[in-house]
Structure 1
Amino acid sequence: MKKKIFTTALLSCCFVICMAVAFADLNGKWSGSINTPDGNAIDVAYNFKVDGEKLTGTAESQMGEVTIDNGKINGDNFSFSVNVSGTDYPHKGKAYADSCAMDIDFGGSSSHFVIKRAK
């Protein structure tokens, strides 16, 4: 009986550890390119900092660096906004092991893009 309980507990711990490894860690620098509604491509870099369910950090482009506002994480889904020249740009994304798929709202017109962990 004790052996069954020990085996079950051990397997449960292994499962939890494997699931934790499977979820991507957003901490760090990520980069990619956004295609804007007017057809221009903007190179971007995000430096994410995760604290529990809170996401902070910065976003960089040729227009400069801005802070990430209202950042939230729920599992592998996350959202935040950045304010560029007085305009908020909401972002929604899903984290994977080596990339993040994101959508940005350009005031009613959205763009889908992928960022990868910067080396």
Structure 2
Amino acid sequence: MKRKLFTTILLSCFVAVCIAAAVFADINGKWSGTISTPDGNALDVSYNFKVNGDKLTGTATSQMGEIAIDNGKVMGDDFTFSVNVSGTDYPHKGKAYADSCAMDIDFGGSKSHFVLKRAK
């Protein structure tokens, strides 16, 4: 009897961990937020992420237009990519959570942290 109970509890924990991992790692879709630029301006942005295995593609959109995401990689809940604006690469690092993504962007040595929420 103890063995059946232990096996059931262990299996339940495994299923819960698998479900949680699937929820946390799913960044597919549209996310939006506001970046504080080094010069003090606020820039409204949205990202449309597409994950295929460990590869991340998609687009970034702001009032300046839409650009492609380059060199995207997904490693569990962490992801990285860059966008090229007028010949300058801006590397991004992110961490996915159930309802948000925490992001860091490097503006040529000046870093900015911001949060994206899933767009409706």
Q: Same fold (TM over 0.5)?
A: yes
> Superposed, which structure 2 residues align to 1:1-119 within 5 Å?
3=4, 7=8, 10-11=11-12, 13-119=14-120
Q: Return the alpha-carbon distance in structure 1 between the equivalents of residues 5 and 119 of structure 2.
A: 45
Secondary structure of the structure 1 residue equivalent to 2:115:
strand
- The one-letter amino acid of 2:26's match is D
Partner deviation per Cα, 1:56-99 (whole Å, 9 max, x = no partner):
00000111100000001111110000001111000001111111
Secondary structure of the structure 1 residue equivalent to 2:79:
strand
Aligned-pair distance for 1:22?
A: 4.2
Alignment check: 8 A CA contact 2:25 2:76 kept: no
Q: Return the alpha-carbon distance in structure 1 between the equivalents of residues 11 and 107 of structure 2.
A: 49
The root-mean-square deviation of aligned C-alpha atoms, in Å, is 2.0
Secondary structure of the structure 2 residue equivalent to 1:97:
coil
Range that drifts further, 74-83 or 8-17: 8-17
- The one-letter amino acid of 1:71's match is G
Aligned-pair distance for 1:17?
A: 3.2
Extract structure 1 runs of 4+ deviating beyond 4 A.
Answer: 2-6
Secondary structure of the structure 2 residue equivalent to 1:23:
helix
Q: Return the alpha-carbon distance in structure 2 between the equivalents of residues 9 and 98 of structure 1.
A: 27
Aligned residues with identical type, % of pairs: 73
Partner deviation per Cα, 1:26-70 (whole Å, 9 max, x = no partner):
000000110000001111000000011110000001111000000
TM-score (normalizing by structure 1): 0.88
Q: Relative to 1, partners in 2 of residues 1:4 and 1:106: Cα closer, same or farther, differing over 3 Å?
A: same
